[in-house]
Amino acid sequence: MMPNPVVFVMAAISVAALGLPGDAFAQNPSPGGWLNPQWEKPPITDANRKPAPRRSLAGMWGPAAGPGAGTQAGGVQAKPNNGRPENQLPYTPFGLELYKSHKSLEGADSVLPGQDNDPRNLCEPLGIPRYNHYNVRLTQIFQDEYKVAMLFQYDNRWRIIWTDGRQLPRVVDGGVQIGDELRESRFFGYSVGRWVDDYTFEVQTVGTMPEDRVWLDSTGRPVSDQVRVTETFRRVDYDTLIWSESIEDPKMYSKPWETMRLPMRLHDPRTDVMEYYCSPVEQDNYNKVLGNPSRSR
């Protein structure tokens, strides 16, 4: 894997998760109340399993297998870009052509630093669905009777999923149609969610940014503004959430396919969340100090 030239500046901030009882966790705060993430967690067994609350995703969640499980540097979690036949994607001719034009720092067709054209390395917002596939660490979920809010650790970004019964907008050229109104494309698109049952929450997202602004993952796979992203959040017990995603993008792929099935574990709501963001200044400093490694070859 090629080194990532984007330098991320990290500093501690406190972001408290709401909606969870303070005595739900046995861990005591460190002096001053600043808790580090506890990635080494005991497995869930019949002896320690607690029932999931009804129709609730609220809490601070991290990949059950540790922070590395959410990195997805080699491509989306369910289909890593490693050249294996079982992970080949059903590209349309245009999708394959666009993929070949992308120069990524990770994956089977990676290039040297300085030769890439990943919009991430310009500190552009990643958009949906790529935020689900890029360094997923501590993700906080809040909800009320009208909406669910997800707070991503990377780049301190958040998204809203509406649960008040509104209809998903209709995708049209250049954006979406809501009634008689034409609305713009958005990095996070337009998301609506519904409870399939008391423990399963389904989300549909449309109206995302066009293919010249965003990628699907860090290996250069494409995604367009015609995509429909379907996510399922299955709360299997109090401490476990299964986050699944599939995409349908007729402009890029000849059929829908599953991109992710990521088990998540509940963390102490008092855990301190580190800032983790892309800085153009730090990127420029990196380039000045290290330059382009390919030039010395």
- Supply the pLDDT for residue 288: 75
Give every residue of the chain whose pLDDT is below 70, as ranges.
1-32, 287, 290-297
| Measured distance CA(176)–CA(252) in Å, rounded | 19
Q: pLDDT tens digits for 211-235? A: 999 999 999 999 999 999 999 999 9
Handedness of CA 71, 246, 126, 87 (dihedral sign): positive
- Supply the pLDDT for residue 25: 46
- Supply the pLDDT for residue 65: 96
pTM: 0.86
- Supply the pLDDT for residue 283: 73
| Measured distance CA(141)–CA(18) in Å, rounded | 8
Virtual torsion, Cα 64, 67, 68, 69, nearest 10 deg: 30
- Supply the pLDDT for residue 131: 98
- Supply the pLDDT for residue 154: 95
- Supply the pLDDT for residue 290: 66
| Measured distance CA(47)–CA(70) in Å, rounded | 28
Q: Which residue has the tokens 């049952």?
A: 197
- Supply the pLDDT for residue 270: 94
Contacts of 230 (CB under 8 A, 6+ apart): 202, 203, 204, 205, 245, 246, 247, 248
Domain boundaries, the chain: 8-38+50-296
- Supply the pLDDT for residue 214: 98
